[in-house]
Amino acid sequence: MAKIPTSEGQIPFQIPGENNISCSTYYKVFGDLARDAPAVVILHGGPGGGHEYLLSFAELWPRYGLPVVLYDQIGCGASTHLPQMEGNKGFWQESLFVAELDNLLDHLKLREGPGFHLLGQSWGGILGVAFAASRPRGLRRLVLASALASMELSVQSIQLCRSELPMNSQRVLDRCEQEADYESQAYKEALTVFHKMFVCRAEPVPAELMLAFQHLSDDRTVYGTMYGPSVFKCTGSLRSWSSIPCLPQITAPTLVYNGEYDTSRDISQEPFFDHIPRVRWITFQGGSHMCHLDAGGLGERVLKVVGEFLMQHKAVALQP
């Protein structure tokens, strides 16, 4: 797996409407952005999970000649943290991260020449849909990896997963949630069972995914404010979010994928397939929410499917 970036740095980011808050976005580039090939910009999940668990997609550079850009969204990782904004639902909105993505694209000059592709995983898919629906200049192709079309459908998906947990784990979750106890050892153990069944089925848990969990644990400002105290309790600024009305506005060819055991079940993918004009949907058998990290060759299959889909931009460009 390619882990040594060609370049990395910090991009100044001035938050719209917040003249007294100056931030910076940490990014990594794998490959040559000057090459005549669209860069693949990777949008991580969480929100607040950081970029490391998506590093396997850096292999798109040596295998397909596609430069790859990963970055930490503000509020996590090596980008600016804003703990003073915890609980401010008006501040932590999808529009903030769209503005940050716009800023990154402008700084790296990715709208010019061959343009760019977007790959959004989980919450990154929410961000990718919002951005793609604005029909941004330079966007060639969109990949929605275990994303969700609306928070209502996501909650239903997660409840389906929860109903498949061992009864003992379900009882622990029920009891702890009634007591608003999200920090006890019993709750954490039940959550670990959920993670192993539906979030990532690889054993042991990949080190890069452990880094994402660590980011979410070290600073809960973004996740806690936008989502809530637990994956099973959405009370944050995303609570009523839905992409469904804007899906017909996405003109970029789109690949949608999820896993058989994904927390993003098929019900949360169906609107993508029904409403995005140019779309392909794949469900990976045996896959979890982190298909790209799952064992048994699944990660390799995901990379191949994504790489081949993104390379189709060449065939499209050659059409009269």
Give the structural domain span for 97: 7-160+207-318
Per annotation, catalytic residue among 81, 215, 219, 262: 262
Res. 318: pLDDT tops 80: no
Taking 70 as the threshold, does the pLDDT of residue 314 lie above it? Answer: no
pLDDT per residue as tens digits for the range 179-229: 888 889 999 999 999 999 999 999 999 999 999 999 999 999 999 999 999
When the pLDDT of each residue in the chain is averaged and rounded to a whole number, the result is 94
The CATH number of whichever domain residue 119 belongs to comes to 3.40.50.1820
Task: Return the higher-pLDDT residue of 28 and 21.
Answer: 28
Residue 190 lies in a domain: no
Burial class (CB in 10 A: 0-12, 13-18, 19+), 305: middle
* 192 lies in some domain: no
Q: Is residue 295 part of a domain?
A: yes
The larger pLDDT score, comparing residue 304 to residue 4, is at: 304
In the sheet that 68-72 helps form, which strands lie side by side, from edge to edge?
A: 7-14, 22-30, 68-72, 39-43, 116-121, 139-145, 254-259, 279-284
Query: Is residue 262 among the annotated active site residues?
Result: yes
Structural domain total, the chain: 1
Residue 125 has pLDDT above 70, yes or no: yes
> Of 122, 146, 169, 243, which is the active-site residue?
122
Among residues 51, 81, 117, 289, the one annotated as catalytic is 289
pTM of the model: 0.95
Instruction: Please check whether residue 218 lies inside any domain of the structure.
Output: yes
18: in domain: yes
In the predicted structure, residue 317 carries a pLDDT above the cut 50: no
| Percent of the chain whose pLDDT exceeds 70 | 97
In the structure, how many helices (H) and strands (E) does the chain have? 10, 8
51, part of any domain: yes
Kindly state the average pLDDT of the residues 150-163.
Answer: 96
| Displacement of CA 60 from its chain's centroid (Å) | 17
Distances (CA, A) of 250 to 27, 117, 123, 311, 317: 26, 13, 18, 19, 18
Mean of pLDDT values over 97-115: 95
- Whether residue 2 lies inside any domain: the answer is no
Position 67 in a domain: yes
274 catalytic, yes or no?
no
Q: What is the pLDDT of residue 26?
A: 98
